[in-house]
Amino acid sequence: MNAERGDAGEWPGRLVRAHDEPGVVEICRDYMESRPDGSLGELPESCAPRPIVNPADVADFALRLVRAQCDGARASATLEPMAAFFGAALARLSQLTGGPVRSMFDRGSRTRE
């Protein structure tokens, strides 16, 4: 279901129901695939999407989105909700793992603590 045409509350609920890291990663991929055509082009260049394969990829993208917001990127109908979603996904991963999820910005590591 495309979140833009469907229930926007679907995504947070799916994250809450995820029981493991692969589940959260899959939901993040589904979320990205559900974005309307052309909407990803509204993101700042620093937030160009990359493949989401593991929890570190979720952490990396969440961090890049928030950094763009903090750096004064123009607010858009894409950046704000995407940053909120990936922040929630990262929080869910932390709940599931019992600690922080490491990103590539953490001393180049691609693994979690």
pLDDT exceeding 70 applies to what percent of the chain? 81
For residue 20, being part of any structural domain is answered with yes
Residue 3 lies in a domain: no
109 assigned to some structural domain: no
**Residue-range definition of the domain harbouring residue 91:** 10-97
Q: Which of 61, 60, 67, 74 is nearest to 112 (CA)?
A: 60
pLDDT digits (tens, 9 = 90+) for 17-52: 999 999 999 999 999 999 998 899 999 999 999 999
Residue 72 domain-assigned (yes or no): yes
Task: Read off the amino acid at residue 34.
Answer: S
Residue 102 lies in a domain: no
For residue 19, is it within any domain?
yes
Collect all residues with Cβ–Cβ distance below 8 Å to 19 and sequence separation of at least 6: 96
Counting the structural domains of the chain, the total is 1
The whole-number pLDDT of residue 3 equals 41
- Classified as helix, coil or strand, 98 is coil
Average pLDDT on 80-103 reads 88
pTM exceeds 0.95: no
Structure tokens that stand for 73 in this block: 């990127």
Tokens for 113, please give them.
Answer: 């603590």
Residue 81 domain flag: yes
Does the residue 73 lie in any domain?
yes
Which 8-state DSSP code applies to residue 73?
A: P
